[in-house]
Chain A
Amino acid sequence: MKIAVLVKEVPDSYGERRLNLTTGLADREASDKVLDEITSRAVEAAVSHAESADGVEVALVSMGPESAEATLRKTLAMGADSAHHVLDSALAGADMTLTAEVLAGVLQRIGCDLVIAGDVSSDGTGGVIPTMVAERMGAAHATSLDTLSITDSTVAGERAAYGGTVTVEAQLPAVVSVTERLPDARFPGFKGIMAAKKKPLETYTLADLGIDAEADVPRSIMLSVTESPARTAGEKITDEGDAGKRLAEYLTEKKLV
């Protein structure tokens, strides 16, 4: 069985994240780049399944700028077998429609039985790419799974539903996405890091995939970007036994209670 994991490089949310106020594009110089935490959990799920079952191969797939290559290399050290990187200057500022087309394109090219993604990315926060990819691949989707179990022919898990929780199960091929309820990623050991250096990492352009970023199809466009004023600190008091009373006064005065 071949599992493809959709991994995304994002600006580190611990640091400052900026949009360019002229172009509306993510300002890549402003932030450190990291593997999105949720996609590292997706890798963990794939790699731990590969360890527990025979004949499971794990491929990492990413669309992103040049810097994503180093992130892919680091992620290979967690135990994945290969990495596939779509790199093309025409993809700067790609909307979700184009992103899904590109990811489905590489996935179809490399072939796989199961795709594991994160539920929502920490920068774009769309939460739609996995199901868009499933639609393009003609596969079932089972997204935002809080638990995950994989067999040779099925994938299943629990997810939130209106008024409760549902258990869902799909026949392979399928696309799933996981939530942060899944286990945290492992730290790659020295052996993993050494082994990763020799693993195949392939790069694709849009031409390789036969995709035209300029095709006249409806696209999402950004019309304006404004920076919100930063919040500032107000009053700070130290409790001297009466802070509860003072807070009650404050809330009453401001008509907040």
Chain B
Amino acid sequence: MAEQNILTYLPVLPSGELVGSAAELLGAAAQLGTPVGVIVTSPGAAEDAARAAGELGAAAVYVAEHEAVGTTLTEPAVNVFSTVWETTQPEALLVPNDIDGRDLAARLSVRTRSPIASDAVGVHRDEEGIVAHHSVYGSAFTTESATTHGALIITLREGAVDHRGQAVTPQIHRVELGELTGPAAAITGFEASVEASTRPDLRGAATVVSGGRGLGSAEGFALAEQLADALGAGLGASRAAVDAGYAPHSLQVGQTGVTVAPDLYIALGISGAVQHLAGMQTAKTVVAINKDPEAPIFDIADLGIVGDAFEVVPQLIETLQARNS
């Protein structure tokens, strides 16, 4: 039997680069069948993006370029995917579990009558088909799910899959955008994010340093940034720190933020509320620095330090720097 087509949604950044999740989407697709990339973008960006997809393992790439991508929400992508779906008869579609990925998954699920396996952290195939792995209730339980029959749409948690595809020269197919008929929201403005951070993305970073309300102010939060930079780590924050305006929402770790599973997680001035733990308790090693000896974060920390972060962290950075020079 020929290998089944596994479609992946590969969003493109304004810079023309593929979004970071492309590598893991194609990696996961390679574990299941023939990875097929689909790129729907504003005119000009598709060729380079398609080649980049090949380097990440896409055997075939379907590309569509159209102005509507920048002016109409979701519908252009749904339109192109409906066409590619007909042509490729996929066994599964993998999308990033982000806002745009979920909207696409939702519309296609209803149109193609395919169920959704949501927030998957891994995939495999058994005799009966594709199985998605999930980590639910703040990682307290692990589950596996599948579809009763037909194709499965999977929203893949960012940073969760390590497998990578093999570089190939992809077959590139152009797809025309059909007439947009369904009602859709208009995109009336775009503002590029200012921070061109050189830090590794929080999702998928080997080390994450997070700061909480205990850092006291936006200036105090710089302590977490300094430690993150000293360690080459991704930066995170608690919801209280985000609510207080110390850090942008995109850095929030926890139940209603990002879920991370790094090798090392360092929590500074974070109490350890259950909703925060939900986003980080599968880290391999947890270090917590907190003034309050009773803080619940110590219950799950491999090394807990009862102390003032503003004293402990500078000394840590100094010691590490002295060692490295």
Taking beta carbons and an 8 Å cutoff, which residues of A are in contact with B? 13-14, 17-19, 24, 37-38, 95-97, 100, 119-120, 122-132, 134-136, 138-144, 146, 156, 159-171, 174, 179-181, 217-228, 231-239, 241-248, 250-252, 254, 256-257
Contact = CB atoms under 8 A, between A and B. Distances in A.
A217 to B, nearest CB: 6
B110 A132 contact: yes
Contacts of B155: 126-128
A120 B145 contact: no
17 contacts: A13-B274, A127-B102, A131-B103, A135-B106, A135-B107, A140-B183, A142-B73, A142-B185, A143-B103, A163-B13, A163-B14, A166-B187, A166-B191, A226-B141, A243-B311, A245-B319, A256-B264
Interface string B263-277: 110000000001100
A5 B55 CA distance: 45
A164 B147 contact: no
Interface in B88-132: 97, 99-100, 102-103, 105-107, 109-111, 113-119, 131
Contacts of A241: 311
B300 interface: yes
A218 B305 contact: no
B255 A220 contact: no
A139 to B, nearest CB: 6
Contacts of A236: 293, 298, 301, 303-306
B106 to A, nearest CB: 3
A229 to B, nearest CB: 10
A71 to B, nearest CB: 19
B139 A135 contact: no
Contacts of A131: 74, 102-103, 106-107
B169 to A, nearest CB: 26
Contacts of A161: 99-100, 190
Contacts of A244: 311-319
Closest 7 CB pairs of A and B: A244-B315, A239-B307, A131-B106, A167-B189, A234-B302, A170-B185, A248-B319
B299 A233 contact: yes
B325 interface: no
Contact of A126 (B119, B231, B274, B286): B119
Contacts of B141: 18-19, 225-228
B287 A247 contact: yes
A125 B119 contact: yes
A248 B190 CA distance: 44
B15 A163 contact: yes
Nearest to A168: B185
Contacts of B190: 161, 164-167
A171 B182 CA distance: 12
Contact of A250 (B146, B147, B303): B303
A166 to B, nearest CB: 5
Given A19-B141, A96-B109, A224-B143, A256 B305 contact: no
A162 B12 contact: yes
B244 interface: no
B148 A221 contact: yes
Contact of A248 (B102, B139, B323): B323
A252 B287 CA distance: 13
- Give the residue among B114, B151, B293, B303 with the most A Cβ atoms within 10 A: B303
